[in-house]
Structure 1
Amino acid sequence: MAAGGGTKAILAALCANLSIAAAKFVAWAFSGSSSMLAEAVHSLADSGNQALLLLGGKRAKRAATKEHPFGYGRERYVYAFLVSIVLFTVGGLFAVYEGYHKIEDPHEIDHWYWPVGVLVFAIIAETFSFRTAIKESNEVRGGQSWWQFIRRAKAPELPVVLLEDLGALVGLILALFGVSIALATGDGVWDGVGTVCIGVLLLIIAVILAVETKSLLLGEGASDADVAAIGAALVDGDAVTRVIHLKTLYLGPDELLVAAKIAVQHDDTAAEVARAIDAAEARVREAVPVARMIYLEPDIARAKTDT
């Protein structure tokens, strides 16, 4: 995928989650641990989420049609939003329900070595998956902090995988904590408490993902730095004297729409204006490569209050 789509990170997470989900279901079947069941469903939901991200990336590559003249780039945002919904319902709400049920009707964990062994294995596998996501994210996040990267990234896949992997690791630690306390005390309530904590964690992550992908779905413009670069590239001081107004919109993670009204000399001929527009478009594409669709409206330079 383009624009930091993170295909490698998604595939690593998918392989890890499928193997972990199978192991967790086996451990739950032998031990009866609610934490193991919640974690198994969590891993299964994460596997479905990664499949959704891959599907969204594939469908977003479709060529523009008469019905969708700007293409299907935003479909990646749609599938990322679906991921947050799946994580919220299948992962978070199920874990809270299962944990509450276990607290209301606690029972001891059987065959303790199954859940403990699987959790240790899962922590190791998730660590490798998380490491892959961090490595790919570092290649595109630049000098941004991790929170800034999650908030500002236009390609949704890497932030989604990062938060999923982080949630999975913390959830596994919570599950191990709940199981360990339940085994040490002989009180199955702690297994339920750990399960509820996992559910709350997943709900928080799901809400963060939903808020961020909703913003992308509604349509976000270019960053301040890119807007400044586009504005500077449009003006050459000769044919184009200034930018009257400028608007940008991401049609997809790797395609930016630029619409601007530019001031040209009042005595330029139509041919000169056309050449100035072509040159301005070339400068913008060189300055900001994702600016692939550019519409420029020439106007006569007047007062600074032009709109």
Structure 2
Amino acid sequence: MSASGGSKAIIAALSANLAIAVAKFVAFIFTGSSSMLAESVHSVADSGNQALLLLGGKRAERARTRTHPFGFGRERYFYAFVVALVLFSIGALFSIYEGWHKIADPHPVESPIWAFGVLIFAIIAEGFSFRTAIKESLPHKGDASWVRFIRRAKAPELPVVLLEDLGALLGLIFALFGVTMAVVTGDAVWDGIGTIMIGVLLAVIAFVLAMETKSLLIGESAAPEVEEQICAALENAPEVTKVIHLRTLHLGPEELLVAAKIAVDHDDTATEIARGIDEAEQRVRAAVPIARVIYLEPDLDRAEQAPSSQVR
């Protein structure tokens, strides 16, 4: 997944959220609605999250050092994980607290026209942002479902922006529901209920993001189909008879470490084995361009050497 697509979606979301945050705070000042306050904090948190994603992408481009010989590609996963923590701590917990406070001490929504106007504007702006995220994700999603794309994507930016934009749209709908019910019924408790709904929604999204980015952060292998391509490329080298075992690890979204033990003919000379390993590496890089770090260990196929009675 190219970083450009993710950056475009992040910038679109950041621009929308900054404008929406200002509008929501203005609406909160005029209405006193807890739903509007929760949505204001939600937009501020989202803006900070998008800034973190941009920062992570920039820091991940640093060249490798002696203490970090494989580079800094996984910093993108770290900052995506921080985004999940921010979304939960600032967005979800604040919204749930504010909603509980409004239910315990309800006060009417004043000048609701401000809330309705800002919420409609925010829904339109978030819709454009969400559309951009979907458009940038489609080439990478392929035929997979959206759930599978979010779970399997190795670049965290697009899944994070997709979930944030989806959460923002649903949160706006919850806020609109809470404010509308509070105005129609004259019961401000509905405003608090809408606020708690926003908080629960953000908590769920934060949990999903945390689980997915944690998996990437501690290290994920390549997808099964990618590992099959690597095995095929290795076994197509003349000096390699088979792949005994293979391990892969994403050092970053666009950088894969490949470690394999390969079986070679016991009659091959050291020169032939070295040449075969070089050719095998070239075949792997041609088949899987992100396989940038490759370690191959030659060995003999023990199964072929064992007596026929011991082979299963």
What TM-score results when the alignment is normalised by the length of structure 2?
Answer: 0.96
Q: Distance in 1 between matches of 2:223 and 2:4?
A: 16
Which residue does the alignment assign to 2:34? 34
Q: Which runs of 5+ in 2 are unaligned?
A: 307-312
Q: Distance in 1 between matches of 2:217 and 2:161?
A: 18
Which residue does the alignment assign to 1:110? 110
Which residue does the alignment assign to 2:262? 262
Could you tell which deviates more after superposition, 137-146 or 47-56?
Answer: 137-146
Q: Cα deviations across residues 229-278 of structure 1 (Å, max 9, x unaligned)? A: 10010012631100011000001111000000111111111111111111
1:174 Cα deviation from its structure 2 partner? 0.5
Quote the sequence identity (%). Answer: 69
Q: Cα deviations across residues 79-99 of structure 1 (Å, max 9, x unaligned)? A: 000000000010000000000
1:67 Cα deviation from its structure 2 partner? 0.3
Is 1:214 the counterpart of 2:191 in the alignment? no
1:143 Cα deviation from its structure 2 partner? 1.3
Could you tell which deviates more after superposition, 113-122 or 267-276?
Answer: 267-276
CA RMSD of aligned residues (A): 1.4
Which residue does the alignment assign to 1:198? 198
Q: Which runs of 5+ in 1 are unaligned?
A: none
Q: Is the 8 A contact 1:4 1:137 kept in 2?
A: no
Amino acid at match of 1:30: F
Q: Is the 8 A contact 2:5 2:136 kept in 1?
A: no
Amino acid at match of 2:178: G
Which residue does the alignment assign to 2:90? 90
Q: Cα deviations across residues 31-77 of structure 1 (Å, max 9, x unaligned)? A: 00000000000000000000000000000000000000010000000
Quickly say closer, same or farther: Cα 1:3–1:291, change in 2 above 3 A.
farther
Which residue does the alignment assign to 2:81? 81
Which residue does the alignment assign to 2:25? 25
1:287 Cα deviation from its structure 2 partner? 1.0
Is 1:181 the counterpart of 2:142 in the alignment? no
Amino acid at match of 1:202: L
Which residue does the alignment assign to 2:52? 52
Q: Distance in 2 between matches of 1:4 and 1:221?
A: 23
Q: Is the 8 A contact 1:56 1:76 kept in 2?
A: yes
Q: Cα deviations across residues 96-135 of structure 1 (Å, max 9, x unaligned)? A: 0000000011111111111100000000000000000001
Amino acid at match of 2:72: Y
Q: Distance in 1 between matches of 2:305 and 2:147?
A: 38
Q: Is the 8 A contact 2:237 2:283 kept in 1?
A: no
Q: Is the 8 A contact 2:237 2:280 kept in 1?
A: no
Matches within 5 A, 1:124-135: 124-135=124-135
SS at match of 1:6: helix
Q: Distance in 2 between matches of 1:110 and 1:241?
A: 77
What TM-score results when the alignment is normalised by the length of structure 1?
Answer: 0.97
SS at match of 1:303: helix
Q: Distance in 2 between matches of 1:233 and 1:294?
A: 13
SS at match of 1:298: strand
